[in-house]
Structure 1
Amino acid sequence: MPLKNYGVLKGRAFDRIKATAQNEHFQILINRNNNPHRIAINTKSSLEPSQVLYYAVDNFTHEILDAISQADLPSGFTTVPSRAGTLALDFVRRNLFDAKLMVPLPSRGPADNDDLNDRLDFFVQQAIQDPSASVYAFGEHWPADGVPQGPDKYFPEITHSTGIHDIHMNQGNPLGRFYGDNGIWQDGGLLFHYASRNRWAAVFTAFQSQSFHTDERGNPKPIDPPIGESSAVSIIAALVNPSGDDTRKEFLILLNKSDQAVDLSGWQIVDKNNKKDTLSNQTIAATSTLRINLSGQGAQLSNKGGNITLLDKNGVKITGVSYTSQDAEASGFLVKF
């Protein structure tokens, strides 16, 4: 079954313990002396290949940040419903980053900045040293059953061990030990907000055994990822905030960079709330652009930030983009991706 108690832990970082051969988790102490929690981050996979996929950015911009700011979360753990339109993370559906940019890293290495321990420590140390910094950890909270546990074995000041784990992708697992953990809108991740600089950083991890093409249960799709002409189609711009009434004035501009025309019949445009427009009788010519007008009844482009995903007729994600409320501020102007 999917994660039992998905949500986000917010707080100050006070200490950390790097992963070791005995325990392949990077541990972070959050909220010392004030509802303390531990964050446990996998640095090695128990399935081969064992190196964890990693992506990070130290100047992160995304509509999720607008949503977090609007939510004004309290310190501590907040349950998040695993569905579109909430704070939930989904690596496939929320267009948080380009999965092709993830790189495999060992848990530990002989040099500086050559392993996952070092990369995580880079961000965590900044958060520890900056009193204005807040950490947002997405994953599964423990104890799931609410039964008090004994002192935490890593940070004994947590008198009843509590924290958050599964700080990684939680869908696309193959048949086997972790297949039952699959679900959508329940991925893990780390966000760091340095309030004094009004700057955000993000760290996302996944396992090489996981698939980035998943069905509505989070299970791997039994089809190959898109190849050929269809994978050459991208979203290059959108009119998110038309002048005057938005109804039926929003549109996308697609680019086909290949030398073959692509039939878009049955393709879908999906917004951040999982509302969809289905295309019919439309073809994008070779090496050309195509304007797609939204119907106003399906996908809608929120001025408060959002994401736009393009699926082929088999429901396979071709591409996806995101934009912030700031991107959409100027009425009548295109948002360029």
Structure 2
Amino acid sequence: MSLENYGILKGKPKDWKKGKGKNAHYQILVDDGKNEHRVAVNVNSRVAPSELLYFVDDNFSHPMIEKLPQLETGYRNVDRSSRDLRLDYVRGGLFDTSKMVPLECDIPGPSNDLNELIQKYVEKAADMNGGMIYAFGERWGPETFLPDSFFGFRPGSGIHDIHMNQGNSEKWEYDDAPYQDGGLLIHLPEENRWVAIFLAFQSQCFNTDDITGHCLPDVPVQKVPETSSQTCEVEVSESIEAGSVIIVGALINPDGVDSGKESVTLFNASPKSVDLAGWSIKDAAGRKSHLKGEIRAGSGTRILLSGKGVILSNSGGSISLFDDQGKLMHEVKYSSREVRSGWTIVF
């Protein structure tokens, strides 16, 4: 199915937070000169083994780096015709994937885990005149009336899936496609060099179909060296009570063309963060859109609909939310009388 909003975020890192515990992400606050954004970088996996594979090239050279400085700061959507600005670990000639090794995200002591490896280069870019970060992945937001759940800026906006996005295991293979991998490229002009950070899950494979990006049959997942027994905590699937995550709003009839502008807003009323991987929403006609990302306790998120799955009818309908086991978590209905152009219905 592929990522719906693949692109590049260019900006200056201002702040950061290390990822710890379940479903850990290293969070980077990026300023593009006009707006702030959050870059959410996976640093462990909710599927065992928890350690991510990584490769760092601290003197990265590739034709792409000649074009990146010409981009304006901020987020730029990159369509499939612009392969020269898209990452592909398998076909892009970026690096040797056999050199990727696993690294734990949170180990006691200095400079020895994935959080600290990323932070080393993010801090350099923050401190250096002209230092810039380029994050490749899928955008979320802007979330018009929701503040960012980590840094508090408004409107909430950011980019995630900063990792390989093909060769996924069955549960996530709907995200597969070539030429849409995530990663971080960091420009350090005072040192006249680029740093590239590439990440992948150990559950992914590196021999993928040129059209779908799915793992080719009878190809084993890449084997990696064993690591120490100390690992990041792996998230165990827990039963989440229906009504813990609810649908609180929906933009049914955006101004202008509806396609790609309709949205559904969710709120996590529970005391724990909820990982939306494998969750989905359905419309009254049974069309489905898959969800991803995380909602922190007491926070919300706006799901922008691409028009390829759920389509919200202006004549009335329903929206249903399902967890990763297919359990109905919440459902709302609306009538044509409630639909107004440009207005979000609050349920």
Normalising by structure 2, report the TM-score: 0.60
Task: Look up the match of 2:177.
Answer: 183
Aligned-residue offset at 1:211:
0.6
Q: How many residues align?
A: 219
Q: How large is the Cα RMSD of the aligned pairs?
A: 1.7
Identify the match of residue 111 of structure 1 among 109, 112, 130. 109
In the TM superposition, what whole-angstrom CA distance separates every residue of 1:198-233 from its partner, at most 9, and x where no partner exists? 2111100000000110002110001437xxxxxxxx
Seen in structure 2, the aligned counterparts of structure 1 residues 112 and 147 have a Cα distance that, compared at 3 Å, is: closer
2:25 matched residue in structure 1: 25
Which of 199, 219, 222 aligns to 1:224? It is 219
Q: Aligned partner of 1:220: which letter?
A: C
Q: Secondary structure at the match of 2:117?
A: helix
- Does 1:168 pair with 2:163? yes
Paired residue secondary structure (2:134)? strand
Letter in 1 for 2:11: G
TM-superposed CA distance for 1:84, in Å, is 6.2
What does 1:1-337 align with in structure 2 at a 5 Å threshold?
Answer: 1-22=1-22, 24-31=24-31, 34-69=34-69, 72-83=70-81, 85-143=83-141, 148-156=144-152, 158-176=153-171, 178-215=172-209, 216-224=211-219
Report the CA distance shift for 1:195/1:151 in structure 2 as closer, same or farther (over 3 A). Answer: same
Code of the aligned partner of 2:160: H
Residues 192 and 200, structure 1, Cα contact 8 Å, conserved in 2: yes
Which whole-Å CA distance do the structure 1 matches of 2:148 and 2:32 have between them? 13
**Residue 48 of structure 1, CA deviation:** 1.6
Take 2:38 and 2:80, find their aligned partners in 1: how far apart are those partners? 22
- Determine the C-alpha separation between the residues in 2 that align with 1:142 and 1:16: 18
Structure ID, larger Rg: 1
Change (3 A) 1:173 1:58: same
Give the AA of the match of 1:45. Answer: S
Deviation at 1:172, TM superposition (A): 0.2
One-letter code of the match for 1:55?
F
- Contact 1:83-1:185 at 8 Å conserved across structures: no
* SS of residue paired to 1:179: helix
Please say if residues 64 and 84 of structure 2, whose CA atoms lie closer than 8 Å, have aligned partners that are also in contact. Answer: no
Per the TM alignment, residue 83 of structure 1 is displaced from its structure 2 partner at its CA by 4.8
Query: For the structure 1 residues 33 and 224, does the alpha-carbon distance in structure 2 shift closer, same or farther, using more than 3 Å as the test?
Result: closer
Q: Is the 8 A contact 1:14 1:32 kept in 2?
A: no
Deviation at 1:66, TM superposition (A): 2.4
2: distance between equivalents of 1:161 and 1:108?
A: 27
* Offset of residue 161 of structure 1: 0.8
> CA–CA distance in 2 between the matches of 1:173 and 1:4?
16
**1:263-285 deviation digits (Å, cap 9, x = unpaired):** xxxxxxxxxxxxxxxxxxxxxxx
The question of whether the paired residues in 1 share the 8 Å contact of 2:23 and 2:45 is answered with no
TM-score in terms of structure 1 length: 0.62
Q: 5+ unaligned residues in a row in structure 2: which ranges? A: 221-347
Counterpart code for 1:159: R
Distance 2:164 2:200 in 1: 5
Alpha-carbon deviation of 1:33?
A: 6.3
The aligned amino acid for 1:120 is I
C-alpha offsets along residues 283-311 of structure 1, whole Å, 9 cap, x if unaligned? xxxxxxxxxxxxxxxxxxxxxxxxxxxxx
Q: Which moved more, 1:22-31 or 1:39-48?
A: 22-31
> How far apart are 1:32 and its partner, in Å?
6.9
CA distance in 1, matches of 2:3, 2:16: 25
Counterpart amino acid of residue 16 in structure 1: W
The percentage of counterpart residues that share the same residue type is 43
Deviation at 1:153, TM superposition (A): 1.3
Deviations 1:292-335 (A, max 9, x none): xxxxxxxxxxxxxxxxxxxxxxxxxxxxxxxxxxxxxxxxxxxx
d(CA) in 2 for partners of 1:159, 1:94? 36
